[in-house]
Structure 1
Amino acid sequence: MHHATGTFEIVMTPESQAPAEGDGLPTSRVGLLKTFAGPVTGTARGTMLAAGTPAPGKPAAYVAVDQFSGTVDGHSGGFVLLHRGTMSATGNAELSIIIAPDSGTGDLAGIAGTLAIEIKGGKHLYDLTYSLPDRP
């Protein structure tokens, strides 16, 4: 397994929102544009679907699909990232981001792995743990 760590910027564009109905949670659809710097260089465009309000005392959940295009440690191509995140009303949070199986293209064909995200001091940090098949 390889690790690639760096930073990324994100632009979130609200596309639709619906207020909570009855005892439900508000929902939204948001366009995503991420620009990666470091060993992962390129952009990821995607869509996020969310329910709830990510704030203390409130539950929230989201799923997203991003299509990355660029380079990873000098290998050019693309792949799909699948996100699943939850936050309980007590503040417990879980985030899982995987590279969709068989979604790699170009030099990244066959890539597999996970992406971790951390926000520190307002900066978005990533840690991509990945493997690539041996090439002849």
Structure 2
Amino acid sequence: MELHLDAPFTLDTWDAVPDPAPSEPGAPPTGRVELAKTYTGEALSGSATGHALTCQGERGASYVAQERVTGTLAGRRGSFVLEHGASMGEGVATVQWARVVAGSGTGELAGLTGTGTVAHELLTLDVVLPG
């Protein structure tokens, strides 16, 4: 079964830990983040915990993250790992992406696949549910 979902979430935790400052002048700082979310949409409700890596400078920024989402998707209970990221900078187009990590689905979500984006407290995802 194919499904498009727009799943709003709240960011409950964003605990950032900066990496040591770069020694090169103008080098952007990097860091690590522990995160937690609550999804409250019709198609997806549940919670997530995960980690992100960040880079934020004057001329560009980027992040990559993985989170384990546990809850109900289209009436099916289980969990899956969502991998997502974005990058932007001077003179380049902004890129945003998200995907279900292959083989990460559990319970009634085993075999789940999907791609989309995460932006402005909204997960937009086109998924294929097993069976």
Scaled by the length of structure 1, what TM-score is found? 0.84
SS of aligned partner of 1:107:
helix
1:28 partnered with 2:25: no
Q: Any residues of structure 2 matched to 1:88-127 within 5 Å, and which?
A: 88-90=89-91, 92-119=93-120, 124-127=121-124
Q: Contact (CA 8 Å) 2:31, 2:55: kept in 1 or not? A: yes
- Quickly say closer, same or farther: Cα 1:118–1:63, change in 2 above 3 A: closer
Mapped contact 2:44–2:72 kept (Cα < 8 A): yes
Q: Which runs of 5+ in 1 are unaligned?
A: none
Structure 2 counterpart of 1:47, which letter?
A: H
Which stretch of structure 1 is more off in the superposition, 41-50 or 83-92? 83-92
Which AA in structure 2 matches 1:87?
M
Percent pairwise identity: 31
What secondary structure sits across from 2:19 in the alignment?
A: strand
Offset at 1:14?
Answer: 1.3
CA shift, 1:68, in A, is 0.7
1:105 Cα shift?
0.2
Match of 1:44 among 33, 48, 55: 48
1:13-66 CA distance string (max 9 Å, x none): 11343323204220110111111001210111110011123xxx5211211111
What root-mean-square deviation, in Å, do the aligned CA atoms of Structure 1 and Structure 2 show? 1.7
